[in-house]
Structure 1
Amino acid sequence: MATVELRFSALPEHVRTARLVAAAVARRAGVDEAVLDEVRLAVGEACTRAVGLHQSSGVTEPVRVALIEDEKQFSIEVGDEAPRAAPGDRAPGVGLGDGDDAEGEDEMGLAVISGLVDDVEVTAGESGGLIRMSWPTTPAPLVP
């Protein structure tokens, strides 16, 4: 198993770099060419979401991206350090109002990712969140 790790400051201009690196590593891992645009878009959405969460929470830690090559699949993990409470942990009325726009954008980004990636897992808690996405790979042909 090979892993490429990226860490970047939570600035929107770094999302493009993460997308380009993810597509290059996915291609090398054997992800089908027809799926590479989906990989780029999903990574862009996940990284944009992480950047937004860092900026809105005042988190100065970098956004983390891990690109993981396994025998039969390629996975990408996008992690953030923005603390979030579970929806049931909010007091009545807390998180309503101006925060609804941010929550709506967050939900939209997750919906886009779910539409692009068949195998996606989203976790979040007090220490941040993680989006894990996976795609099947095809083995490289053997050269005689």
Structure 2
Amino acid sequence: MSRPVRVRFAPSPTGPLHIGGVRTALFNYLFAKKNNGVFYLRIEDTDQNRFVPGAEQYIFEALEWLGISPSETVGKNEKFGPYRQSERKHLYKQYADQLIQSGWAYYAFDTPEALDKHRKQHEEQGKTFIYNWHNREKLDTSLVISDEETNRRIPPAKIL
């Protein structure tokens, strides 16, 4: 027995719903309907610096006006919720910790200023700075500092 199709639309509440978002929502909604699947709405609200009060409600109202009704979302059939990213942080922390413990992830402590300095150095050499496997051990990461120093730099309140 195959599992039903599940598609999502995940807008950020950073302002009005734009036409590109409407297009994505419509395509996903129609795909779910055609395949007797589930269309769900997840709110990507983790960027609190760009959060716009009232934008989440506007998204719900705009989709309703368009006739696009999610099968699951905040406050509606929350079978696989929560449907706000900020309310899922505990799940992400659990898996991030697993990745770090297994060696598949690391902590990066680079400041924007330090990264900008590296970028400028690369530009002076006619190169493009890309944060990747080539330079991650040259930067300020848990790959190059001790576990004690790493733990000192991560106050409990700052972890996800």
Does the alignment reach a TM-score above 0.5? no
Q: Which has the larger radius of gyration?
A: 2
TM-score (normalizing by structure 1):
0.29
TM-score (normalizing by structure 2):
0.27
Structure scoring higher RCO (CA < 8 A, sep ≥ 6) equals 1
